[in-house]
Amino acid sequence: MFVGVGIGYALRKVRAVNVVGKTIPLTIYALLCLLGITVGANSYLVSHLGDFGGQALLLAVLGLAGSMAATVALSRWTRKGGGK
């Protein structure tokens, strides 16, 4: 990735470099399709997709709640610190 940052910075004035804006989503879709093939070919994974969905929902709710709680706490703390 850092090699890419260097290449991108060196070629930032070359218009053709903007093509990565279109190729990134295509590469991601290809990778997800490949991940899907791995999942689909695995009958255990297919039969437990609902179970994985429940676990994913729990992780999503906790991650979301944690990030918001920490941000609110840090904002209050920095505001207090700034007032002193």
Partner 1 sequence: MKGTLCVVGSFAIGCLIGHLSGSDMGAQDISLIALYALMLQVGISVGSNKGLKDIVATIRPQSLVLPLGTIAGTLILSAAASLVLSRWSVFDCMAVGSGFAYYSLSSILIAQVKEPTVGMQVATELATIALLANIFREMMTLILAPVINKHLGARALISAAGVTSMDVLLPSIVNCSGKEMIPLAIAHGIIIDLSVPFFVSLFCSL
Residue 49 makes contact with partner 1 by CB under 8 A: yes
One of 9, 80, 83, 84 touching partner 1 (CB under 8 A):
9
Asked if residue 8 lies in contact with residue 17, where contact means CB atoms within 8 angstroms, the answer is yes
Residue 6 makes contact with partner 1 by CB under 8 A: yes
Cα(57)–Cα(65) distance, rounded to whole angstroms?
A: 12
Binding site for partner 1 (CB under 8 A): 1-12, 17-18, 20-21, 23-25, 27-42, 44-46, 48-49, 52-53, 55-75, 78
